[in-house]
Chain A
Amino acid sequence: MKLTRIRVDQFRQFRRALEIDGLDAGLNLFTGPNEAGKSTLVAAIRAAFFERHRSASVDDLRPWGDPAAAPTVALDFELDGQPCRLVKTFLAKKRCTLQIGGETLDGEEAENRLAALLGFQHAGRGASKAEHWGIPGLLWIEQGGAQALREAVGHAGDHLRGALEGALGEVAASGGDALLATVEAQRAELLTEAGGRPRGAYKEALEAEVALAGELGALDEAIARYRQRVDALAALRAEHAADEAEQPWRAFRAHQQAAAERLAAVREREATLAAARTRAAQVDAQLALLRSQVDGFAREDEAAAARAAALEAARAALDSVRAPLEQWTARRVQAAQALETARAALRAARQAEARDSLAREAAASRTRHAAGAAQLARAEAAHAQVLALQHAVAANELRPADLETLRTQDRALADLRLQQAAAATRLVYVLEPGCSLELDGDTLSGAGERRLLAAASLVLPGLGRLQIAPGGADLAALAARGADLEARQQALLVRLGLGSMDAAERRQLEHARLGGELATAQATLDALAPGGIDALRAEHVRLQARAAEAAQALARLTAPAAAEVAVPAAAVSVADAEAAEAAAAHALAAIQEGLHRAQLAAANGETALAAAARELAAARAQLAAPERARRIAAASAALTDARAEQLTLAARSEALAAEIAAARPDILEQDVDRFRSSAEQLEKRHAERRDQLVRLEIELQSEGAQGLEARRAECARDHARAARRAAELRRRAQALDLLRSLLRDQRRALTRRLQAPLQKHLNRYLQLLFPHACVEIDDNLVPGPLTRPLAGAGGGLETGDFEALSFGAREQMGVLSRLAYADLLAEAGRPTLVILDDALVHSDAERLAQMKRVLFDAATRHQILLFTCHPAAWRDLGVGARSLAALRGLNAVV
C-alpha cells in the first residue's frame, strides 16, 4: 500500500483544506513545530480508516467552534497495483466512498472492505479504540507509543496470524483470540481455572441437586414408615376386633374360678386334719400324765420299804464307828508323856554345849594376850634403835652442795698449780760434786731442777748472789688467785667442822652408812608395829580386857551348871535330843488326828441314823393317807379312756391326709395362678392394643395431614428440575472445557509456525542496532528475551526481558519489531504502511544514526511516513523534509 495523496478539510485545526500530494513510495519526512498539525494529519489518516462515517462519537474531529463542520479526509493510495481512493466525511455530511480500481463501494460496505484489506475492525459502537485497530494499530506508531509493543501486537494478533497464514499457505482464524477469551470467560463462570472444579451456578446446581436428593430420600423414608404404620394399624385393628369378639380371657377366668373352688375344699379338709391332730396331741399329753400318776403311787410303796432298810443300816454303821474312839483316847495320853520327857533332855544338852564353848574362848583370849605383850616389847626396842640412829645421821650430815663446792675448789686449785708450774722459770743445775748453791735459803747440790715462781735469790757461794726474777705478770696473778681459792676453801672447811678435804670425803661415807642402818631399823619397827607403836599398845590393852571378860563369863556359867550335870545321861548330844523331841511331837499329832476322825465318824453315824428314822416316819405317814386308794382307781380309769380316743383320732387323721394328698393342693394353686395370669395377660394385651390403636390413629391422622406424599411429589419435581439444570450446566461446562482446550491447542500450534519467520526479520534489523544480538519471539508473537554481547570487549553475553530495557531501547526495539512485522506482512502480500509520529525522541545520537539506517533500509520495502518536530535530527535521512507550515501556506494560496 502506497499513499500518494492526502487531503484534509474542516478537520480540527485544518479549517481549510490541506492537500499533500506526490508522496514518495519510500520515506516521507514531515517536519513542523508543535501545533503545526503533524498529529492532526495522523489523526485524519486514522479516522479515515478506523472510524465509521456514521459514528456519533467523533465530535473531536471537527474544528473548534464549528458545529456545522463536515470533517473530510480524502486519501489516494495504491493497493495491489490498483489505484484507490477513499473519501470519508463525518458528522454534518456522513459519507464514505471507496474506489478500488474500477470498483466503487459506498458507506458501511466500503468500510468493511477496507477493514478486511488492512486487517482491523470497527468498533461495535462509539469511538474506535486500540483493540480494534489490528495491523494498522501496530504499524502506525502514535506519539510516544513505540515502546508499547505487547498491547499493539495483542490487538493485532489475530489479524497478524490471519494475514501471515497466507504466507504459510493456510487459513488463520479471524477473531480467534476474542473467541478464545469469550470461551474462557464463559468456562470460568462454571469451572475453576486451576482444577476445573465446578463453581458458581454450576456448583450451586450440583449442591441443590444433592440437597434435594437427600430431602427426597428422607421423605421416601418417612413415607415408607408412614405406610408401615398404616399397615400396622390395620393389623392391630383386626386383632383388636377379633379379641373383642372372642374375649379369650373369659374361659381362663372360668377355669381359674373352678380351680379356686376345688382348692377351697381341700383347704377345708386340711383344717379338719389339723384339728384332729391337735386333739391327738392333747390326748397323748393326758395319757402321759395319767401314766406318771399311776407310777407315782407304786413308787411311794417302794420308798417306805427302802426307808426302813436304811434305818437299820445306819444303826449298824454307828456301832461300828464308836469302838475305835476309846482306843484313840488312850494312846493320846501316852504320846503326851513321851513328849515331855524328850523336851527335858533337850534342855540339858543345850546347857552343856554353852559352857564348853565359853571355856574355849577364855583360853584363847589368854594366849592372844601373852603374844601381844611379847610383840610390844620387841617393838619398843626397835623404836629405841631407830631414834638412836636418827640422831647419829643427823650428826654426820654433810650437804651434797657443800661437798660439791669443796670438790670444785679443789679442782681449781690443782689447775692453778699446773699453770704456775708451766709459767715458772726452770732452774736446772748440775753441780760439781761438792759444790752447793743456796737458793732462798735451800741448799742445792748435785744436779736437779727447780721451778721458780717468784723472784729468788741464788747464792753462789763464793761468788755472790744471783737475783732471779721470773718473767711475766701472770705468775703473780696466778699466785693471787691460788691464795684466794685456798682461803675460801679453808673458810668452808672451818664452817663444816672439817680439817681437810679428805675429812669431808670420809664424813660423807659415814653418813651414807648410818642412813642404811636407819632404814633397816625402821623396817624392823614397821614389821613389828604396822599401825605404829601406840596402836600396838592399845591392842595389847584390849586383849588384856577380853581375856579378863572371858574368864569372868566362864566363872559365872560354871557355878549353877554344876548341880545338874549328873541328872540326865550326859552323853546326849543336842541334835539327837532335838530329833527325839520332834518325833515325839509328831506321834502325838498323828494320834490326835486319828482320834478326831473317829469322833467325826461317830457323829455322822448318829446324824444318819436320826435322818433315816425321820424319813421312815414320813413314808409311813404317806402310805397311811385316807384318799390314796380312791385316787389310784380314778387314774386307772382315765388312762383306759384316753387310750381309746388316741386310736380313733389316728385312724381319722390318716384318712384325711390321704384324701388331701390325692387332691394335690400345690398343683391346684398353680392352676389358679396360671389361669389368672393367662386371663390378665390377655386382658392387658387387649387394653394395651386399644391404647396403641388410639395413639397410632392420632399419630397417623396428624402425619397424614402433613401431606407427606404431596410434599414428596413437590420435592421430586424440584429434584428433577435441579437434576436437569445440573446436567445442562455439566454439559455446558464440559463443552466449554473441550472448546477451550481445542482452541488453545490450535492457536498454539499456529503461533509456533509464525515465530520463525518473524524472528528472522527482527534479527536482521537487530544486527544494525545491536551487532550479534538476537531476540526470541514468544507465543503471542511479541519479542521476548533479548540476548546481546556485553558492553566492552569481554565477549560475554547478557540476556534480559524486553520490558527490562531502558525506555529509549524499548522504543527502538518497538520500531524494529514493527518493521519486522511489516516485512512479514509484505512477504505475505499484505498492504503495509508505516507511520512514525515523533518516534525515537528518546534515542541518543548514535542509536538514532543506527535507527536511520534501519528506517532507510525498511523504506526500500515499505512506505514510511515520519513526522517530527526536530528537523535537524533527521536531516541525514536521505530524503527531503516537507514542512507542514510551508504546506499550509502553500495550500492557502491554492
Chain B
Amino acid sequence: MPRFLHTADWQIGKLFGQFEPDEAALLAEERFAAVERLARLAQQHAVDAVLVAGDVFDAQTVADRSVHRLFNAMAGFAGPWLLLPGNHDAALAESVWTRAARLHAIPPNVRVCLEARPVLVEAAGMAVLPAPLTQRNTFNDLTEWFAGADTPPALVRIGFAHGSVQGILAEDIDAANPIAAGRAASARLDYLALGDWHGTRRIDARCWYAGTPETDRFRANDSGRALLVELAAPGALPAVSVLASGRYRWHALSAELQVASDVDRLLAELARFGADDVVQLEVGGRSDLAGHRRLSDALGQARGRTRSLVAELGALQLEPTVADLEGLAADGYLGEVIARLQAAQHGAEPAAAQTARDALVLLAGLLERRAPGAAAAAAAPGGDR
C-alpha cells in the first residue's frame, strides 16, 4: 500500500525584495525550515517516498551554501526523495543539479530525475514516470511519453511533472510547459504529481498540484501545504490528505475608508494579525486627522506584532474636520494653507494630488507635535508606504 508525500515549488534561494532586509532574510530562511518540517511530516506519516515536483531551487546559480543547506534540511527523512527539475531549476547542460552532484551535496537517498525514464521504487511499490524540464521553458507536453511507457503491473504508476495543466489555470500562465488535461487518465496513471502552481489544487481525483510548502507571495491562495497520498493498489483511487507545512500566512488587504467606522473595521482586522502574518495593506478613500492618527498608531503596533507589514496610504485623502483644525490650532494663514492642500489633493493630476496629500499629512504632523495639549505620543502620520 504505497504512501508518499507530494510537494513542489520549494524555491530555495528566493529573496523577498519587497520587504525590509531583516524581514526578507527571515522569510528566505523559513524556506529551509519548511523543508525540515516536510521531512518531519514524512517521518511522522511513515511515507514510502517524498516526491518534489519541480522548482526545488529558485534559480540555477544559487550559492553553494544554499545547495548544501537544502540537502541538509532533508536529513530528517531517511527514505527516498525524488526531485524533479522544474522551470526554475531545469536539467540544463550545466545546472544547479550538475553542480550539486559535483559538490557531492546530494545524499544517496535523494534521487534527481534528470531524464524522462521510468524510475522504479520497488520498496515503495511505485513506478514513477518523470517529465523533467530540460529547457527553461518548453511548449511541448513533456508528459506525452507517459502513455507509451510500460511499468511492472504490480507497481502503482505515478506521473511526475512540472507545468500548467491546459484549460484549467488562468489563460496568462499556461503558455509555457503545457500538460494536457486528463493526462492521468490517458496515461493510465494512478496519480499525477504536479508542481508549478503555488497553491494546493486538485485537478481531478488522480491529479493534484501540491503547492509550495511555505507561502511566498500574496497572490497564491491556499499555499503552505503538502499532500499525503495513499494508493491502496494499482488502479485504486488515491486518498489524498492535505497537511499544513507552512508557517507564515500572507495577507493582501485593501480598504476604502469613507466613514469613521471604516477605520474601526480596518483596525479590528489589523488587530488579528500576529507573529506569523505577512501583511500587505492598501488604504484608499478619505479620513479625518483623528482617523489617520488612529490608523497610523494601529499600523505602528501591527508592524511590531507581525512578521512584516507593508502599508500604502498614498491613496488615502486627508480631510481635516473643523475640530481637527481647532485641535491643531491651525488658524490664520495656516488654515488657508491646509484648505489649499485639501483642495489640491483632489486635483486631476495624480502626482500633484499625491504631493498635496503628502504635504497635508506632513503639515498635520508638524502642527500636531507643536500644538499645546495635543497627544505628545501621536505617531507621525508621514512616512507610510
Contacts and interface: CB of A to CB of B under 8 A. Distances in A.
B61 A226 contact: yes
B62 A172 contact: no
Interface stretch (B38-46, B94-102, B197-205, B282-290): B94-102
Contact of B332 (A161, A183, A230, A738): A161
Interface residues of B, number: 54
Interface in B300-358: 314, 329-337, 340-341, 344, 354-356, 358
Interface string B11-36: 00111111011001000000000000
A720 B15 CA distance: 11
Contact of A233 (B16, B60, B93): B93
Interface string B222-235: 00000000000000
Given A233-B93, A717-B21, A728-B385, A172 B333 contact: yes
Interface stretch (B139-147, B162-170, B360-368): B360-368
A7 B344 CA distance: 55
Interface string B356-385: 101101110011001010000000001101
A223 B62 CA distance: 12
Contact of A728 (B15, B102, B359, B383): B383
Contacts of B355: 731, 734-735, 738
A823 interface: no
Contact of B17 (A161, A174, A710, A719): A719
Contact of A724 (B95, B341, B372, B385): B385
A450 B363 CA distance: 180
Contacts of B99: 701, 704-705
A251 to B, nearest CB: 29
A732 B98 CA distance: 50
Interface in A167-181: 170-176, 178-179
Contacts of B337: 739, 742-743, 746
B138 interface: no
Contacts of B362: 183, 732, 735-736, 739
A862 B333 CA distance: 29
B332 A742 contact: no
Contact of A174 (B64, B93, B329, B344): B329
B228 to A, nearest CB: 32
A237 interface: yes
B363 A713 contact: no
Contacts of A317: none
A479 B9 CA distance: 191
Contacts of B64: 705, 707
Nearest to B18: A720
Given A161-B332, A713-B14, A735 B95 contact: no
B298 interface: no
Contacts, number: 157
A838 interface: no
A274 B29 CA distance: 90
A710 B330 contact: no
Contacts of A701: 94, 98-99, 102
A709 B11 CA distance: 13
Interface string A172-195: 111110110011000000000000
B116 interface: no
A717 B13 contact: no
B92 interface: yes
B242 interface: no
Contact of A697 (B58, B66, B94): B94
A717 B333 contact: no
B59 interface: yes
B271 interface: no
B30 to A, nearest CB: 16
Contacts of B367: 179
A750 interface: yes
A701 B64 CA distance: 11
A176 B333 contact: yes
Contacts of A716: 15, 17
Contacts of B335: 171, 173
Contacts of A290: none
B17 A720 contact: yes
A19 interface: no
Contact of B340 (A223, A718, A742): A742
Interface string A207-226: 00000000000000001001
B59, B329, B359 interface centre (most CB from chain A within 10 Å): B359
B366 A710 contact: no
A175 B370 contact: yes
A747 B367 CA distance: 16
Contacts of A697: 94
B18 A747 contact: no
B18, B335, B372 interface centre (most CB from chain A within 10 Å): B372
Nearest to B136: A227
B260 interface: no
Interface in A671-708: 697, 700-701, 703-708
B63 interface: yes
Given A701-B99, A706-B61, A721 B93 contact: no
Nearest to B354: A731
Contact of B359 (A703, A706, A736): A736
B152 to A, nearest CB: 30
B92 A230 contact: yes
B61 A234 contact: no
A171 B331 contact: yes
Contacts of A718: 17
A112 interface: yes
A182 B365 CA distance: 12
B309 to A, nearest CB: 14
Contacts of A234: 92-93
Given A176-B334, A720-B17, A739-B362, A704 B92 contact: no
Nearest to A743: B337
Nearest to B102: A701
A37 interface: no
Contact of A742 (B24, B59, B341): B341
Given A179-B370, A738-B355, A717 B15 contact: yes
B332 A700 contact: no
B377 to A, nearest CB: 16
Interface string A714-754: 10111111001000100110111011001100110110000
A736 B365 CA distance: 12
A731 B102 contact: no
A51 interface: no
A226 B333 CA distance: 62
B363 A717 contact: no
B61 A709 contact: yes
A837 interface: no
A713 B13 contact: yes
A173 B14 CA distance: 53
A9 interface: no
Nearest to A696: B94
B27 to A, nearest CB: 11
B95, B102, B330, B332 interface centre (most CB from chain A within 10 Å): B332
Given A171-B331, A732-B382, A230 B94 contact: yes
A107 interface: no
Given A717-B15, A720-B17, A709 B94 contact: no
A731 B352 CA distance: 10
8 contacts: A179-B370, A233-B94, A234-B92, A701-B99, A704-B99, A713-B13, A719-B17, A720-B17
In the complex, the 6 A-B pairs of residues with the closest C-beta atoms, listed nearest first: A172-B332, A717-B17, A709-B59, A173-B332, A735-B358, A746-B333
Given A226-B61, A731-B358, A742-B359, 16 more contacts: A161-B332, A171-B332, A172-B332, A176-B334, A223-B61, A230-B93, A231-B93, A697-B94, A700-B93, A700-B94, A705-B99, A710-B13, A728-B383, A739-B341, A743-B334, A746-B333
Interface of B: 13-18, 20-21, 24, 58-64, 66, 92-96, 98-99, 102, 136, 314, 329-337, 340-341, 344, 354-356, 358-359, 361-363, 366-367, 370, 372, 382-383, 385
